[in-house]
Amino acid sequence: MHVTLESVTIDNFEVLMDMELPPEQARYLASNAYSIAQAHYYADWRPRAIYCDGIPARFALYDVTGNDEPGHYAIYRLMVDYPRQNQGIGRRAMALILSEIRACADARRITICYKPENATARRFYASLGFAETGIDALGEMVAEIVL
C-alpha cells in the first residue's frame, strides 16, 4: 500500500467533496466541501488529498503558518472515505502530515481537536502520541504533541 499527500486541484476536488461518512460518523466532522471552501479563504490552511495506490481515499486540512502562537500548528480535519476505513491508510497519512509539520523549522507543538464522545478518534490520536489537554471553547477535546 502506497500512501501519498497530494494537493487539492481542479482534477480531484469533486471526488474529495463527494466522499461521505455514515451518519454516526458524519456528526463528528465538517464535510470535505466545507473544509475545501474554508481553505480557499484562509491562505495558511492546507487542504490535502490523501491517495492510496493512486486513488483518492482520504482528506486532511491543517494550518502551516504557526497558528496564533509561534511554533503551534493545528490539524483541523482528517477524514477517510467510509469504504476505505480500517485499512491503515489513516495511520500512514497522519505520519506524512506530522512529518510535513515537523519539517517546519519553528514547529514546537501540534494540536488536533475532536468531539469528546468520539472514542475512535480518541484512541487513534493517542496511539500517535497526542495527549489530551482539555476541552476548548467549542466543546471539543484538544490533544497535542509537544516537539
pLDDT, tens digit (0-9, with 9 covering 90-100), for 80-138: 766 667 788 889 999 999 999 999 898 999 999 998 998 988 999 999 999 999 999 98
CA distances from 66 to 41, 44, 69, 146 (A): 17, 9, 6, 14
Cell 486540512, residue located: 61
Tell me which of 17 and 68 has the higher pLDDT. 17
| pTM of the entire predicted model | 0.85
Average pLDDT over residues 53-60: 89
Phi, psi dihedral angles at 106 (to 5 degrees): -95, 5
Which three cell numbers, joined as nine digits, stand for 17?
467533496
Domain ranges of the chain: 3-107
Reported as half-sphere exposure (CB side, CA atoms, 13 A), residue 98 has a value of 18
Question: What is the CATH architecture assignment of 3-107?
Answer: 3-Layer(aba) Sandwich (3.40)
Tell me the per-residue pLDDT of 28-37, one tens digit each, with 9 for 90 and over. Answer: 667 778 888 8
| Element counts in the chain: helices (H) and strands (E) | 5, 7
